[in-house]
Structure 1
């Protein structure tokens, strides 16, 4: 039977979408929830999943074509009783609260930018976005057992991660549950470990009892141990790779002591190299992405469609510029102690699988300053004529992408330690650049940071990420002559550009906030008191 699938309505008033690319071709076999296309709306690029198991019969839209919501974009061929794209048999009554047939109006959760599959119904299906399903498969989580906290009970990526971090209850016979087949486990350094049984790279000695580390996988033994068992060959491999064997996640235990294999050493070393390489990327996070376009021929013109994410970014900038009266306060600060602190901690962070740039220090310093000057962590509610000061600190990080400037948000930055802030900021920036970021990961910001210094800039007049009331621009850290105790020295200096909504924030408050921020950046040890 043929099943026609229409471009779903993803809410937020989205009326059309551009087919970025097809992930399948006519004749391809597909399974339910398998991504079949990437579609760009004016909010983000989302994956569209197949609603059925079957075969692709026909593609009704070309790559690059802008398709109205509700228009058929693909036709599937299925076996057995004809079913609608929402998964119900033809003529079957809709359960209360179930997703509507795509032949009618899709029941997308309002505000959801990813294409929802369906809500949980009597046929056991789950209301979850494709990215959440993909993450569940990667983490070995049964998505059917995850309680959704999104709109309409939708399972989000955060729900999947929370389920993965929640230890399973022991079975009735008292045994620990096994790790899901094919799931990756995470070592103490935060790097994914290889699948398979512990100790796969080095067999146990004949007749020697081997006890698997708690948890059944790597990561049961914390890094930085006082004592580690390993063969001479493994220790030699660790020395050659330049890693501390006591920091390598243990693969098993022998006689109650952590035991590390040569394979674990190699994987750990590779993870550290990858983390160090990522540090270079972090420094260029705000650099313009290479669009891959060739230059325009002499005397010619090139017309690039102004739509999708690029148009949305432009409209947001326009609204901010013409709504909030901007004033920008410029200053500079000696951050030599910050440079030294980051250099000292960088290697330790890499040992834990985290690329440590200056950004997480700035985020923590900004949060500390916002607590003293909460007027900068606010929003103007024009409809009710109220200034809303926020008691939570969700810091946006402006990131340059091929589609334009996106602002992923580090949620509750005040409640997270430095390395967690660094890890989340790196992950969100990468997801923004490869356009896999979910819309909810760019919402809820209360203050934004933009790092134009990554490409060598010093000062700017950044546009506020409306409806926030302030944005901080970071200039490049450069060695400059600086007076210290009456003597001129070469010091590392960072420039700051703080734009404020002058309807809400006075110039004096902007200056006081900046002075407090400078104090934290010049003395990063003060952040230990926060």
Structure 2
């Protein structure tokens, strides 16, 4: 018998380390060639590592969540024959990408975290000196008798003394009575026990969630955000949307309000091209793009992902709706590619019907603007001497204040508002 060592693969593009996000085997498992041993995540992709040989798992190096250098041995197999004296890399077995994430722009990496492990529950004191039967039931409204020290202990433990049996004179509650109640050794007075839940769950932040956390922290630490909120009357555009859905041709997608907002963003960017940029703060350079590539923040089972609708300036609202639906489905089922998750120049963030009244979106670095969509609500609006019902939606948008002044941010959003409140203009712009 010999040993076959498998190393962390070199996936190229200058990657020097990868995070172990899943082990599919354990020591002692018998595996066959091409069985998937583990999944690792880099800044570029998540890849599976298949076994290049038949064998038995003899040793596993590293735990889920560990960052491991490229070339380091991560698993050792016991195999027939002499094995590989030179420690053949798993790269030779051509690991295949199963899910991808953006390089350094959109904040998303599709990989679910492992199930959390339960931490042992904190033990409570067990006192059996007293008995529930020895305590007298209190009449309704009767104040329980207890010393100040007992009352303080009960308050700290979140225990209501009216439910605790007292074994002292006139039903006075002692420290022992309180201990018995907390430990469950005594029955409550007049109802079920309400014992404080002292369990703790330990959840390791790994994979996609750790990448999201890193990107959000980096964006908030480095970018001075300015958030601007404006109210938009979307009654007219919602009526137009309903009409277009009712008269849609076969094969045309059902329209939400998002493609109309995207169309308004494309038009507004013509007047405010600086908002469609990347800022390289390391080189003090702003890259202003001609094409509008809208990142569409989407929640998936694995976490936040930002698929990119490329060259939105060339698309109709139906075309944007089609592409948005395709990308959202690919993000949720894990078939989306890295190219479809990179290259956005401005981001649109929406929580749909759960959008709330106001939000404070975090910049998708190195972009300089993100438009946040809140929910549509029917509200009374004063018009022509009386209140009328109108569909109102807030846009909560954030900007990189190093590049975008507050005045420009407000004008950009008000330009979008004007287009949405007069939806015919969405189709009149060249």
For the criterion TM > 0.5, the same-fold answer is yes
Greater RCO between the two (CA within 8 Å, min separation 6)? 2
Give the aligned partner of residue 468 of structure 1.
Answer: 367
Quick check: 2:45–2:99 contact (8 Å CA) kept in 1?
Answer: no
Deviation of the 1:505 alpha carbon: 1.1
Q: 1:379 to 1:65 in 2, by over 3 A?
A: closer
Give the aligned partner of residue 9 of structure 1.
Answer: 10
Distance in structure 2 (CA, Å) of the matches to 1:397 and 1:361: 14
Q: Tell me if 1:389 matches 2:288.
A: yes
Superposed counterparts of 1:357-368, under 5 Å: 357-368=256-267
User: Which of 363, 375, 389 pairs up with 2:274?
Assistant: 375
- The answer for unaligned runs of 5 or more in structure 1 is 85-89, 91-100, 108-115, 119-127, 133-288
Q: Secondary structure at the match of 1:387?
A: strand
Give the aligned partner of residue 274 of structure 1.
Answer: none
Distance in structure 1 (CA, Å) of the matches to 2:118 and 2:389: 41
Deviation of the 1:438 alpha carbon: 3.0
Quick check: 1:22–1:63 contact (8 Å CA) kept in 2?
Answer: no
Distance in structure 2 (CA, Å) of the matches to 1:474 and 1:486: 30
CA deviation profile, 1:467-503 (whole Å, cap 9, x unmatched) = 1111111110011112344542111111011211111
Aligned residues: CA RMSD: 4.1
Which has the larger Rg? 2
Q: Secondary structure at the match of 1:398?
A: strand
Q: 1:371 to 1:443 in 2, by over 3 A?
A: same
Q: 1:357 to 1:4 in 2, by over 3 A?
A: farther
User: Which of 103, 109, 118 pairs up with 2:88?
Assistant: 103
Superposed counterparts of 1:257-272, under 5 Å: none
Deviation of the 1:313 alpha carbon: 1.6
Deviation of the 1:38 alpha carbon: 5.9
CA deviation profile, 1:103-157 (whole Å, cap 9, x unmatched) = 36959xxxxxxxx949xxxxxxxxx85679xxxxxxxxxxxxxxxxxxxxxxxxx
Q: Secondary structure at the match of 2:363?
A: coil
Give the aligned partner of residue 279 of structure 1.
Answer: none
Distance in structure 1 (CA, Å) of the matches to 2:114 and 2:386: 47
Distance in structure 2 (CA, Å) of the matches to 1:55 and 1:350: 56
Quick check: 1:44–1:309 contact (8 Å CA) kept in 2?
Answer: no
User: Which of 270, 293, 312 pairs up with 1:413?
Assistant: 312
Give the aligned partner of residue 345 of structure 1.
Answer: 244
Q: 1:30 to 1:520 in 2, by over 3 A?
A: farther
Quick check: 1:473–1:498 contact (8 Å CA) kept in 2?
Answer: yes
Give the aligned partner of residue 148 of structure 2.
Answer: none
Q: 1:341 to 1:102 in 2, by over 3 A?
A: farther
Distance in structure 1 (CA, Å) of the matches to 2:42 and 2:324: 24
Q: Tell me if 1:332 matches 2:200.
A: no
Distance in structure 2 (CA, Å) of the matches to 1:342 and 1:408: 24
Give the aligned partner of residue 20 of structure 2.
Answer: 18
- The answer for unaligned runs of 5 or more in structure 2 is 101-111, 122-196
Deviation of the 1:365 alpha carbon: 1.5
Q: 1:417 to 1:15 in 2, by over 3 A?
A: same
Distance in structure 1 (CA, Å) of the matches to 2:270 and 2:244: 26
Q: 1:459 to 1:103 in 2, by over 3 A?
A: same
Equivalent residue pairs, number: 337
Give the aligned partner of residue 39 of structure 2.
Answer: 39
* Structure with greater proportional strand content: 2
CA deviation profile, 1:213-270 (whole Å, cap 9, x unmatched) = xxxxxxxxxxxxxxxxxxxxxxxxxxxxxxxxxxxxxxxxxxxxxxxxxxxxxxxxxx
Quick check: 1:7–1:67 contact (8 Å CA) kept in 2?
Answer: no
Deviation of the 1:433 alpha carbon: 3.5
Quick check: 2:4–2:88 contact (8 Å CA) kept in 1?
Answer: no
Deviation of the 1:369 alpha carbon: 1.0
Distance in structure 2 (CA, Å) of the matches to 1:501 and 1:395: 17
TM-score by length of structure 2 reads 0.65
Give the aligned partner of residue 499 of structure 1.
Answer: 398
Distance in structure 2 (CA, Å) of the matches to 1:301 and 1:403: 23
Q: 1:346 to 1:37 in 2, by over 3 A?
A: farther
Distance in structure 2 (CA, Å) of the matches to 1:430 and 1:294: 30
Superposed counterparts of 1:111-190, under 5 Å: 117=94, 129=97
Distance in structure 2 (CA, Å) of the matches to 1:356 and 1:102: 55
Give the aligned partner of residue 184 of structure 2.
Answer: none
TM-score by length of structure 1 reads 0.54
Quick check: 2:252–2:318 contact (8 Å CA) kept in 1?
Answer: no
Q: Secondary structure at the match of 2:270?
A: helix
Distance in structure 1 (CA, Å) of the matches to 2:282 and 2:348: 27
Deviation of the 1:377 alpha carbon: 1.0
Q: 1:411 to 1:328 in 2, by over 3 A?
A: same
